[in-house]
Amino acid sequence: MANSVTTDRNAAASSTSSKPTGDTLTVVDNRTGKQYELPIKDGAIRAMDLKQIKTGPDDFGLVTYDPAFMNTASCRSTITFIDGDKGILEYRGYPIEQLAESSNYLETAYLIIFGELPTKTQLETWTEDIKAHWLLHENIKKLMEGFQYDAHPMGVLISTVGAFSTFYPDAKQIFDESSRRKQVHRLTIAAYAYRHSIGRPYVYPDDELSFTGNFLNMLFKRTELKYKVSPVLERALDILFILHADHEQNCSTSAMRGIGSSHVDPYSAMAGAAAALYGPLHGGANEAVLRMLQEIGSINNIPAFIKKVKAGEGRLMGFGHRVYKSYDPRAKIIKRTADQVFDVTGKNPLLDIALELERIALEDDYFITRKLYPNVDFYSGLIYQAMGFPVTMFPVLFAIPRTSGWIAQWAEMLLDPDQKITRPRQLYIGQARRDYVPLNKRG
C-alpha cells in the first residue's frame, strides 16, 4: 500500500552535488544550476523541503501549486485505503466487500473510530452507549421546531449540529478521550429533521431495535404501537451506511480536518463538514442521477442521450470519480443490494433505464477510454427512493454514516504531531504596490 522506505523523513534536505542516494528525489534548479536531494517517504516528498530551493536570499522559496489538491497529501492516515486504479476500498485494512457482507454499521463505525474490530463485550458496550444517547436534549427539539416547515432537512441538520456545542459544552474538551468518545453518540437528529419537514410529531427511539432499524422507526412510524422493520430494508440501510462511512480525504473530510485544526469543538467542525457535503458535487450527486434518469424518460431515448453526452452537450451523472479509474467497488455492492430492496418495495421504474444506460456506456469506447465507470451514486438514489425517502433526505442519509469517518479523521488529526492549524499558501497574481488616490482625483 505504501512504499517501503528507510530514509528518515525528518532528515534535512540539502543542496549537494554528490551521488544521489536511494529513496530520494534529485532536483536540479535550472535557474541557479544547484542540485538538491529531497527525501522520499511513503511515496511522497515533504513540501517544506522545497522551500530551500531559492534564486537568492530574498526569495521565499519554491512552493507547489495544486488547486483542489489533485496530487497533494495533507496528512498521513491509518483509516481508509483506496487504490482507484484497481477498485480497492478498505477500512483499517478490511476490504469493503467483507464488511458489507458480514458486518453492520455500528460495528464498522467502531472499527473506523477505534482502529480494530470490537470484541463481543466491546460491541455490546458500544451499542448500549449509543442507545443511551439517542434521546436528545428537549431544547434541541424546540430549536428545530423554529425552522420553516418546508426547510431542507440538510439545512436543519447543519444548523442543529452547529448548535450542539452550546448544549454540550463538554465537547470543547477535545483532548479528553472520554469526552471525544461521548460526542459520537449524539447524532440522531436527522430523524427529527425529517419528521419536522413533513409535519409529523417526533418519534422517540425504541431500544429494542438495531441502529438502522431504529432510524427507520423514527422516520416512518405512524400510529402503530410497534413499528415493524423490514429485515431486508434494515439490512440494505446497514450496507449503505457501511459504504458511506468514510472515503479518505474527500471534500467534507478535508473540511472536518481543516476546521478542526483550529481546535474548535467537533460539532462546529462537523457542521462545516456537513455543509461541504450539502453541495451538489459531493452529497447531492445521487439526486443528480435521478434527475438525469427522469429526463431521459425511456430506454428508447438512451442512444440520443449518449450522443449528446459525447458531443459535450450533456453529462453522464453517476459515472466517473476523482479517485476511481475502474468500477467503484461500492457501486458493485449497491447494485446487488438494489435487487433485494426492489423485491420488497417493487421495482423503481427508473431502474430499467439505469441498467440499459450502464450497459451501453460500459460497451462504448468513448467511456471506456476515459475510464468512466458507475460510482456509488449511480444506484444509491434509486434504492433510497424505493425505500420511501424523499430526494431532500439523500444528503442527510449520506451525512449520518459519514459522521463516524469525520470523527475518526478529526481525532487522528488532533493526535498527529505533524499537524498544525491549516493555512495553505497562495500565489499572488494581483496588482503590484500602488498608492491610494483620493476620490476627487479618480477618473
CA distance 174 to 266: 8
Whether residues 296 and 381 share a domain: the answer is yes
Q: Same domain for 190 and 298?
A: yes
d(CA 406, CA 385): 26
Are 212 and 281 contained in the same domain? Answer: yes
**Banded pLDDT at 2 (limits 50, 70, 90):** very low
Find the radius of gyration of the CA atoms of the chain: 25
Does one domain contain both 161 and 45?
Answer: no
391, part of any domain: yes
Number of alpha carbons in the 13 Å side-chain half-sphere of residue 108: 31
CA 207 – CA 398 distance, rounded (Å): 23
Do 194 and 56 share a structural domain? Answer: no
Average pLDDT over every residue of 426-432: 96
Residue 6 cell numbers, joined? 528507510
Query: 117 and 59, same structural domain?
Result: no
Q: Is residue 85 part of a domain?
A: no
Instruction: Specify the 3-state DSSP secondary structure of 378.
Output: helix
CA distance 188 to 161: 10
Query: Per the structure, how many domains does the chain have?
Result: 2
111 and 52 fall within a common domain? no
User: What distance in Å separates the CA atoms of residue 55 and residue 32, rounded to the nearest whole number?
Assistant: 6
Summarize the confidence of residues 38-63 as an average pLDDT. 95
Closest CA to 411 of 251, 275, 273, 256: 256
DSSP lists the bridge partners of residue 374 as: 319
Q: Chain-wide mean pLDDT for the chain?
A: 89
| Single-letter code of the amino acid located at 51 | K
**Residue whose cell numbers read 463485550:** 121
Which candidate, 66, 374, 412, 410, places its Cα nearest to that of 268?
Answer: 410
Q: Is residue 423 part of a domain?
A: no
Element (H, E) at 97: helix 96-102
Contact (CB, 8 A) for 275 and 158: yes
Establish if 88 belongs to a structural domain: no
Q: Indicate whether this model's pTM tops 0.85.
A: yes
Three cell numbers written together for 181: 468518545
How many C-beta neighbours within 10 Å does residue 65 have? 8
Which residues, listed in sequence order, are joined to residue 28 by a DSSP beta bridge?
A: 35
Residue 179, pLDDT > 80, answer no
Query: Is the pLDDT assigned to residue 17 strictly greater than 50?
Result: no
Q: Which residues are catalytic?
A: 282, 321, 377
Is position 73 within any domain? no
pLDDT for residue 11 is more than 50: no
**Do 55 and 109 lie in a common domain?**
no
- For residue 241, being part of any structural domain is answered with yes
User: 26 with 108, same domain?
Assistant: no
- pLDDT tens, 92-146? 999 999 999 999 999 999 999 999 999 999 999 999 888 887 777 888 888 888 9
Whether 194 maps to a domain, the answer reads yes
Q: Are 398 and 239 in contact (CB under 8 A)?
A: no
Query: In this structure, are residues 200 and 228 in contact, taking their beta carbons and an 8 Å threshold?
Result: no
Share of the chain above pLDDT 70, in %: 93
H-helix segments, 297-424: 302-310, 329-345, 351-362, 365-369, 377-386, 394-414
Residues 58 and 109 in one domain: no
pLDDT digits (tens, 9 = 90+) for 295-316: 999 999 999 999 999 999 988 9
**Those residues with Cβ within 8 angstroms of residue 188's Cβ, 6 or more apart along the chain or in another chain:** 133, 134, 136, 205, 215, 218
Average the pLDDT over 70-92 and give the result: 95
Parent domain of 40: 14-64
CA angle 150, 237, 120 (to 5 degrees): 130
Write the CATH number for 320: 1.10.580.10
The pair phi, psi for residue 346, each rounded to 5°, is: 90, 150
185 and 256 co-located in one domain: yes
Residue 41 near residue 52 (C-beta atoms within 8 A): no
Instruction: Assess if residue 79 is contained within a domain.
Output: no
Instruction: Judge if 176 and 34 occupy the same domain.
Output: no
Which of 283, 326, 330, 325 lies closest to 99 in space, CA to CA?
A: 330
